[in-house]
Amino acid sequence: MSLTPSVSSSVDLRRIIDPDTYFDNNLPPTNLQWAHDEVARFVKSQAPDQRIVLVTSGGTTVPLENNTVRFVDNFSAGTRGSSSAEQFLALGYAVIFLHREQSLQPFNRHYSHSTQGMLSYLQRATDGSLRIKPEWEDKMGRDLDAYQKYTAQDKLLMVSFTTLSDYLFLLREVSLLVAGLGPQVMFYLAAAVSDFFIPSHSMSEHKIQSAEGDLTLRMNQVPKFLGPLVKNWAPLCFIVSFKLETDPQLLGSKARHALKKYGHQVVIANMLNTRKWQVWLFTREEIEPATIQIDQSDLAAGHDIEQDLVKELARRHQKYIKEAQVSHA
């Protein structure tokens, strides 16, 4: 399969990939109404000064056929998002976890995708009952307690997406529902979102046939949704986006460019191969980025970089809330 991404220059297509018209030309996900109702309920159930974070996590798919057999996927296991959600909860945030279906989820992530499978954590006791293996009891117990506590307190809401289109519809919906709470809401946009897609009307209706020979794909550029998000959907909220690169020469300039273009609060820059132990935090105010880094030995011992990253962001978010209160007074 050869991938030849290119931006269409046709007037009609440009109209369709405009952020404002995207939603008129693509179908919403089947869980949109459910998500709307659940997020509205979740937000209403929180205390008035509750800090809320929308964490996006996992990769989006881009279908190649309307009756989809094949799709292009974006790299992301959901480690960053799910680990960060745990840290936000520990710091007292209420978390809306907008994640790719079947990707890693807070607390469950430690077991659900184990290479040996779920059953490797269990054993049968002499009385015939099923037990957790003794070496896992403490850790699993702590994760279970935390998961049940936050769920019972209504502090964790899970919403899932699969395709790019699902993601964009859900992102807009959730943004509009939380925007009214203003500065106390943080957006933590860690999902790996495709830059290219095939508009519904350009897609093959049915499975692409191999009898027709090699496949060349022409994909359109996805409209930049960070613009409307920052300007129109949630202009008062604290917005953190992520920049992923594989070429170190590009990372800093791309992060700065995003800040300048969209005018939001923070860009977290990371490299594919070192993302688990090193990230850079860019803001418009600081000339040099802050480096957040852990030892690889700490990572192996179970210390996630997200502990340090989320702590630092929560600190900056608190400052942002205070400044907004002062300027409002």
Could you list the residues that contact ligand 9Z3 (CB under 6 A)?
76-80, 189-190, 192-193, 241-244, 270, 275
State the Rg of the chain over Cα.
Answer: 21
Nearer to ligand 9Z3, 112 or 204 (CB): 112
Rounded-to-integer distance, Cα 116 and Cα 271, Å? 28
Nearer to ligand 9Z3, 79 or 184 (CB): 79
Nearer to ligand 9Z3, 42 or 166 (CB): 166
Residues 178, 237 contacting (CB under 8 angstroms): yes
Shortest Å, Cβ 41 to ligand 9Z3: 28
Question: Torsions phi, psi of 293, nearest 5?
Answer: -145, 145
Nearer to ligand 9Z3, 43 or 268 (CB): 268
Shortest Å, Cβ 250 to ligand 9Z3: 10
Shortest Å, Cβ 57 to ligand 9Z3: 6
Q: Is 92 left (phi over 0), alpha (psi -120 to 50) or beta?
A: left
Rounded-to-integer distance, Cα 75 and Cα 291, Å? 23
Report the residue count for the chain.
Answer: 329
Of 66, 79, 53, 74, nearest in space to 27 by CA: 66
Nearer to ligand 9Z3, 76 or 87 (CB): 76
Shortest Å, Cβ 96 to ligand 9Z3: 17
Shortest Å, Cβ 194 to ligand 9Z3: 8
For 174-193, letters b (16+ CB in 10 Å) and e give bbebbbebebbbbbbbbbbb
Q: Tell me if residue 324 falls in helix, strand or coil.
A: helix
Nearer to ligand 9Z3, 193 or 313 (CB): 193
- Give the ranges where the chain is alpha helix by DSSP (H): 11-16, 19-25, 32-44, 79-90, 109-112, 134-152, 164-178, 226-228, 248-262, 296-300, 305-328
What stretches of 65-167 adopt beta strand conformation (E)?
Answer: 71-73, 94-100, 122-124, 130-132, 156-161
Q: H or E element: which one contains 114?
A: none
Shortest Å, Cβ 219 to ligand 9Z3: 15
Nearer to ligand 9Z3, 146 or 250 (CB): 250
Shortest Å, Cβ 256 to ligand 9Z3: 13
Q: Tell me if residue 130 falls in helix, strand or coil.
A: strand
Residues 47, 186 contacting (CB under 8 angstroms): no
Nearer to ligand 9Z3, 74 or 184 (CB): 74
- Taking the mean position of all CA atoms in its chain, how far away is CA 251? 19
Shortest Å, Cβ 14 to ligand 9Z3: 20
